[in-house]
Amino acid sequence: MGDERRVETIPLEDYVRGSVPAEMPLGEQDPAVADRLARLQAILARTYALANRGRHAQEGFDLCSTTHCQIYSPPEQQPVAVARLVTAAVEQTRGLTITDGHVPIQALFHADCGGHTSSATIIWGGPAPPYLSGVLDTFCVTTPRDDWHLDLDRDHLRRILNTAPDTTVGHRLDRIEVLARDPAGRASRVAAAGEFYRVVRGERLRSAISEQLGPRAFRSARFSVEHRAGRVLFSGQGFGHGVGLCQTGAIVRARRGDSVRAILEHYYPGTRVEPHLAPPASR
């Protein structure tokens, strides 16, 4: 796990205890809101873990402890008050998962959607379940906006793009242009023109740049681009891939008193929260 690449076997509920505070801010002044958020994230963490067992099977384990899967931090490293809150939330939700009526769903989530979540098909391509089609989130935009900007030297950006075959532009970079956007305002198709002309999804451009500069540099595919003398300026809203549950919106909903089930059912329409039933043992 982590930089040490150590593999550990962890009981599911202990894994949930370690993931909840690593993924969800729990410093709410109102204990009832903090409890609601801890229970919500516990159900998310459990659902995600069950739906993604074997994601790293070729490497000999199920889930990593980074944002590629879910961040995990050992419960014993948590502050006492946080550990107490999380332990209670995990116990209260023990076994509960979000399902499509049959199996645990792909409970994707992100930090800030900027006002509308996106379809998984538009963001990554391929088929997506109906519950990941994207929804309006009016509560996310009621919080102070965390707009972001990234100003790069054109040649620096060219070198970044040249680190991956699908974004390589060659010996020069002439222009970055958004060709199409999804209903949420995220760039669905982006052109990178230079010696070579590439068209990629906006999320792929974000990923290529983030791999070199870190996840907080290029925060979302909801961005615009401006060219200035020798430089490229990206300006955007939101943080994360924009698919599934928006944590910023969920926090606002929890503060106004929405139940955990109501919050989850908003972001994953057509799903329900119910106990996970393990498949019968094979004979």
Domain boundaries, the chain: 2-111+244-275, 148-236
Structure tokens that stand for 113 in this block: 């959607």
Tens digits of residue pLDDT in 128-173: 999 999 999 988 876 556 689 999 999 999 999 999 999 999 999 9
Q: Which residues have a Cβ under 8 Å from the Cβ of 245 and sit 6 or more positions away? A: 44, 107, 108, 109, 110, 117, 263, 264, 267, 268
- Per the CB < 8 A criterion, the answer to whether 38 and 20 are in contact is yes
How high does pLDDT run on average in the chain? Answer: 88
Q: Which of the four pLDDT bands, split at 50, 70 and 90, describes residue 8? A: confident
The whole-angstrom separation of Cα 44 and Cα 90 is 11
Residue 2 has pLDDT above 50, yes or no: no
Residue 3 has what pLDDT?
Answer: 52
Mean pLDDT of all residues in 85-92 = 94
Residue 133 CA, chain-centre distance (Å), reads 15
For 136, phi then psi, to 5°, come to: -70, 140
* Distance (Å, whole) CA 182 – CA 86: 37
The whole-number pLDDT of residue 22 equals: 84
Q: Which among 146, 148, 196 is positioned nearest to 168, based on CA atoms?
A: 196
CB atoms within 10 A of CB 149: 10
CA atoms of 139 and 53, how far apart (whole Å): 32
